[in-house]
Chains A and B, each alone.
Chain A
């Protein structure tokens, strides 16, 4: 760190010193600039290549789902198919019954997320702002809920919901969500708790002095301030509900109730069976048949996550900003 006290490095004065013939410090400066440039180039290369790794599967998905049967058997086609066709998408939309199952997914994901928002924010506020006897017990139970894998209680829950006749309905997703549980509910309670802890007390006190009750203070003063947390919880909750297949596979066993992700699973299974079945019948056609079905599955996968991608595209900007302000990490 020899150069630190060197005045020649202080920004604009560099050119002045160069003209004054201060060769020694000029060299130092050039070395440092070179290092900085090299470092910058290196960082951009790393960032770009990592970004590529993240985007690569998406590109793969798009490219594969646009391919026609001819393109797959064509060895010259690697990424960009020679003709444009949406046949795979049309097939997938029809085979999956896309629109009706999209409705199911939206109902489950948005409904679950919305109710989770209500339940978790209320509980999070209680944990953040009040100190009552038994507080320590409840907060440790909250942490326990966060750590218990849902798989270890799925059998009793399943039997419980069966007793209530809630199988093949969406209640198993919606009701626990309202109580501040459900899919990773305790994580969301913790996020809200962390956010409310970071907010100043004065606003609440002012509201109370003005005569607002506890709940009123919470709804009209504190909740609007927790907007970043609301956005984060809402988005995460939608995404996790949408992509979940574990719980839907338990509770939803009628074709009309399936979510998109479940339907995608069945699309994949049936198409694989079809292709092997045909393989047995006409073996020379099997090679052409097998990959074609994969393109259809890829198209199905793409349209399954498409709503999420669109949602993310619009909220991305706020999302990233609010994550930073939520203090998810906190302490």
Chain B
């Protein structure tokens, strides 16, 4: 009996590692080793000499340079983080709104779903960049009808300007929320109908139903899409910080400094992610338990 259990365990061990061994090998080759090397590079001055790389240890020099000498770095870092922190909640709220809209039975639901996922296909890459250059990514109403001057009569300027910049990025927000809409819709489908029926019997209003049933039940999906949105917007190619890093690497060929900058940026991204995980700590505990 004891021997049999042991074999089952060994078998599970061998088979489990058999399945993930490829991934583990990939992890070392394409993640762990590069990650370690990039930390190492960030303490080095790397120079390209006729195709060969020479390294010279400089310690924390790059980090000191980034914070004290480089006048471009800090403003870019701060503005990038600010944009991301504004956009992420907007994307999540908008995606939730769309998912709730599309979840109700209605005529042509399939068509609308197809349209709402369109951004997933188009929204990344050069095509969108070309469109933004052409001004297609800002809603035409705000320019055409001189809405700014009209609104200025009612809203003080200090409030209006940030509001309009938000509206300006609305298109970007809407176009960046395709995947999140999908995640939320899948989540909405997984909530058991019986909960809604029970709430209806107890006479709950739709508002109460949303906050007491839908929202708590969606918590794991909200966590997943928050993480996805953060990672996605921090690593987007049209992100200022990423662009700056790219310039450093390819136009100035300073690989060591680029690595250091990458690590500072990465540290901030991780800080944001940890704050999010901390805020959602009950949810992840729940998910662990359920497993």
Tell which of B29, B112, B263, B286 touches A152, judged by Cβ atoms closer than 8 Å.
B263
Whole-angstrom CA separation of A130 from B18 in the bound complex: 10
The answer on a CB contact under 8 Å between A119 and B26 is: yes
Q: Is B155 in the interface zone, CB < 8 Å from A?
A: no
Interface size on B, residues (CB 8 A): 95
Question: Measured between C-beta atoms, what is the minimum distance from A245 to chain B in Å?
Answer: 6
Q: Is B106 in the interface zone, CB < 8 Å from A?
A: yes
Given contacts A55-B118, A264-B127, contact A145 B22 (CB under 8 A): no
Q: Give 1 or 0 for each of B201-239: 1 = CB within 8 Å of chain A CB.
A: 001010000000000000011001101100100110100
Whole-angstrom CA separation of A30 from B259 in the bound complex: 68
Q: Which residue of A lies closest to B125 (CB)?
A: A243
Whole-angstrom CA separation of A301 from B128 in the bound complex: 8
Given contacts A43-B104, A305-B121, contact A179 B29 (CB under 8 A): yes
Tell which of B16, B118, B128, B133 touches A126, judged by Cβ atoms closer than 8 Å.
B16
A147, A155, A264 pick with most chain B CB within 10 angstroms? A155
**In the complex, which residues of chain A have a beta carbon less than 8 angstroms from the beta carbon of B227?**
146-147
Whole-angstrom CA separation of A210 from B51 in the bound complex: 59
Q: Is B126 in the interface zone, CB < 8 Å from A?
A: yes
Interface residues on A, range: 35 or more
Q: Which residue of A lies closest to B23 (CB)?
A: A123
The answer on a CB contact under 8 Å between A119 and B35 is: no
**In the complex, which residues of chain A have a beta carbon less than 8 angstroms from the beta carbon of B190?**
327, 329
The answer on a CB contact under 8 Å between B104 and A57 is: no
Whole-angstrom CA separation of A159 from B23 in the bound complex: 21
Whole-angstrom CA separation of A214 from B21 in the bound complex: 14
Tell which of A54, A156, A176, A243 touches B38, judged by Cβ atoms closer than 8 Å.
A156
Q: Is B281 in the interface zone, CB < 8 Å from A?
A: no
The answer on a CB contact under 8 Å between A147 and B113 is: no
**In the complex, which residues of chain A have a beta carbon less than 8 angstroms from the beta carbon of B137?**
57
The answer on a CB contact under 8 Å between B33 and A156 is: yes
The answer on a CB contact under 8 Å between B174 and A54 is: yes
The answer on a CB contact under 8 Å between A245 and B237 is: yes
Q: Is A275 in the interface zone, CB < 8 Å from B?
A: no
The answer on a CB contact under 8 Å between A50 and B31 is: no
The answer on a CB contact under 8 Å between B26 and A180 is: yes
**In the complex, which residues of chain A have a beta carbon less than 8 angstroms from the beta carbon of B24?**
138
Question: Measured between C-beta atoms, what is the minimum distance from B141 to chain A in Å?
Answer: 11
The answer on a CB contact under 8 Å between B136 and A181 is: no
Whole-angstrom CA separation of A58 from B17 in the bound complex: 47
Stretch in B58-66, B71-79, B181-189 touching the partner: B181-189
Given contacts A147-B273, A152-B38, contact A329 B121 (CB under 8 A): no
**In the complex, which residues of chain B have a beta carbon less than 8 angstroms from the beta carbon of A305?**
121-122, 125, 127
Given contacts A149-B235, A155-B262, A180-B23, contact A301 B130 (CB under 8 A): yes
The answer on a CB contact under 8 Å between A329 and B220 is: yes
The answer on a CB contact under 8 Å between B262 and A320 is: no
Q: Give 1 or 0 for each of B103-142: 1 = CB within 8 Å of chain A CB.
A: 0101000101111111111101111111101101101000
Stretch in A13-21, A82-90, A309-317 touching the partner: A309-317
Q: Is B148 in the interface zone, CB < 8 Å from A?
A: no
**In the complex, which residues of chain B have a beta carbon less than 8 angstroms from the beta carbon of A242?**
125
The answer on a CB contact under 8 Å between A149 and B255 is: no
Q: Give 1 or 0 for each of B163-181: 1 = CB within 8 Å of chain A CB.
A: 0000000010011000000
Q: Give 1 or 0 for each of A198-232: 1 = CB within 8 Å of chain B CB.
A: 00000000000000001100100000000000000
The answer on a CB contact under 8 Å between A119 and B23 is: yes
Question: Measured between C-beta atoms, what is the minimum distance from B54 to chain A in Å?
Answer: 13
The answer on a CB contact under 8 Å between A320 and B114 is: yes
Whole-angstrom CA separation of A215 from B19 in the bound complex: 8
List 17 contacting pairs A-B, 8 Å CB cutoff, sorted by A.
A50-B98, A56-B136, A57-B137, A61-B131, A126-B16, A132-B12, A142-B23, A145-B31, A149-B235, A152-B262, A160-B33, A218-B19, A243-B124, A261-B126, A324-B185, A331-B287, A331-B290
- 10 additional contacts, CB 8 Å, given A152-B35, A324-B186? A51-B112, A122-B20, A147-B269, A154-B262, A214-B18, A218-B19, A264-B130, A320-B117, A328-B186, A331-B291
